Structure 1
């Protein structure tokens, strides 16, 4: 299937305690700060060609600033902007030059829930390196999960306007669907949409080299006193490992590895019963999911809905 969006580039966060957040991601979490500006920090994964995968911005209120995706060419960026404009999607900016690290050509718009989304092409690649055995730092950004009060509406919007496809769904026998896993390439999901009482960030996931590195990284964070809320384990949908932690501002962040790659021509989405223990954790090694974990995943109400970030 031909898509205008190719992959997930970066996730941008605004936080009141900028220095504390910056110290966490550039320190124990294992990212590399590659550029700074007044109240801004751009953090890269050593194994990724992306210029950066996390941007931090100092702000009075915590919020998700934006989610950025890649496109193959400037022509694809223009085609997507034209499509969204004709469909009545609110554009924040028209396609043009991007001035963040790596440059490029792109534009921003609001999704159906009011999140800011950026799509760009021609961003210069960063010199990166092979992550060595037992080196327990992120290789790349894996996926992002967003909270929505109406996950079917949000799913349909991403399918219609951005060509995302449904890979799988988590369902509950009493309350219905609770999460949709969406893909923009053969990876099982680059985006997932979770059921929640309000619009917010659910979690950001970072890919490690392999299971060994995933476990070393999990252990390093635990020894450093970072709060782990769930894990380590292995999900059924996506078949990836998971250890979920909280960053200093209460955002859930995940170490993962071995996310499934699909044959898109033959794949058929399934609905997995989330109440079955093997669905949430095939290994049976993680702590049981409970109300505390669920509440942490709801996160704080996002104050950035239909408000474009200043940079």
Structure 2
């Protein structure tokens, strides 16, 4: 196994009290496809992605982030990573074994330093997917996930040490210091970012669209459907990607994006961007200005699932 054991982001799993409303949002206006459902659990795929699913919804009494799942190249890499994490004192939830979810596969789960459940799997079946057509404004794939941490640099260092993430860029300001680290496991600018927050929570989940036209059409559809637009449309400097952020029915922030930067890893050096400069948060100047209210929405509710493994 290489120093970088993960290959890509697979799916993000959410638990919510109002399961039906949440499912209607993701499988309706947001544009995902329900591929399986059983006893208050639904698996949702992106039509352009080979992943068996990119979001799992579970009916629960309390809202929480159930887990974040990453891919590994092989079963052998899964076994090697599990043994390495165990030797490093990481708390495993399960040992490597067969998965009973759409696509199956072989994987295991463990807690990160903040108590989130992380899953790593390999040998997952590929879903029959398709090319997203011009003007088809539905997600192509899951792009990235951003996590709130009360100790930004401790979390960054944990992911670098244990899972081989590398720093791409940092957002900082003269008054607040460092507020976000963009982390990668491939040439994609980030598959995860870590944001400074008052508590451990999900910051946002991002979905990639086909192109600029599809991104804007999708953003317009969600706006017209009456869901709260938090921020956008605009274009970030770090990652050079577009953004429009919305709240799902349970207050989780979700993003449409496209054109996320791919890096030359041999020559890339991380930047520190001053996010108090408006051209850093939005190169275009089309988004509503970043302010405390937008930041507060992204703090989300404190995660009730820290160091508590999801039941499924």
TM-score, with length taken from structure 2 = 0.99
Q: Kindly indicate whether residue 32 of structure 2 is the aligned counterpart of residue 31 of structure 1.
A: yes
Which deviations, in whole Å up to 9, do the C-alpha atoms of 1:138-192 show, x marking residues without a partner? 0000000000010100000000000000000000111210000000111000000
The whole-number CA distance in structure 2 between the counterparts of 1:263 and 1:153 is 27
The alignment partner of 1:179 has SS state of strand
Could you say which residue in structure 2 is the equivalent of 1:79? 80
The alignment partner of 2:210 has SS state of coil
Could you say which residue in structure 1 is the equivalent of 2:308? 307
CA shift for structure 1 position 291 = 1.5
CA shift for structure 1 position 290 = 1.3
The whole-number CA distance in structure 2 between the counterparts of 1:292 and 1:58 is 29
The whole-number CA distance in structure 2 between the counterparts of 1:2 and 1:178 is 27
The whole-number CA distance in structure 1 between the counterparts of 2:147 and 2:110 is 16
Could you say which residue in structure 1 is the equivalent of 2:154? 153
Could you say which residue in structure 2 is the equivalent of 1:20? 21
Counterparts of 1:249-268 in structure 2, within 5 Å, are 249-268=250-269
CA shift for structure 1 position 99 = 0.6
The number of residues matched between the two structures is: 311
The alignment partner of 2:29 has SS state of coil
CA shift for structure 1 position 227 = 0.9
Which deviations, in whole Å up to 9, do the C-alpha atoms of 1:273-306 show, x marking residues without a partner? 0100000000000001112111100000000000
CA shift for structure 1 position 204 = 0.1
CA shift for structure 1 position 223 = 1.0
The alignment partner of 2:293 has SS state of helix
Which deviations, in whole Å up to 9, do the C-alpha atoms of 1:215-267 show, x marking residues without a partner? 01011111111110100000000000000000000000000000000011110
The alignment partner of 2:130 has SS state of coil
Could you say which residue in structure 2 is the equivalent of 1:101? 102
The whole-number CA distance in structure 2 between the counterparts of 1:262 and 1:75 is 28
CA shift for structure 1 position 55 = 0.1
The whole-number CA distance in structure 2 between the counterparts of 1:285 and 1:217 is 17
Note the residue ranges of structure 1 that are not aligned, 5 or more in a row.
none
The whole-number CA distance in structure 1 between the counterparts of 2:131 and 2:146 is 27
The whole-number CA distance in structure 1 between the counterparts of 2:20 and 2:124 is 27
The whole-number CA distance in structure 1 between the counterparts of 2:250 and 2:56 is 14
Could you say which residue in structure 2 is the equivalent of 1:172? 173
CA shift for structure 1 position 2 = 5.0
What's the RMSD between the two structures over aligned residues?
Answer: 0.6
The whole-number CA distance in structure 1 between the counterparts of 2:228 and 2:301 is 17
The whole-number CA distance in structure 2 between the counterparts of 1:119 and 1:227 is 33
Deviation beyond 4 Å, 4+ runs, structure 1: none
Note the residue ranges of structure 2 that are not aligned, 5 or more in a row.
none
The whole-number CA distance in structure 1 between the counterparts of 2:105 and 2:114 is 26
Could you say which residue in structure 1 is the equivalent of 2:9? 8
The alignment partner of 1:27 has SS state of helix
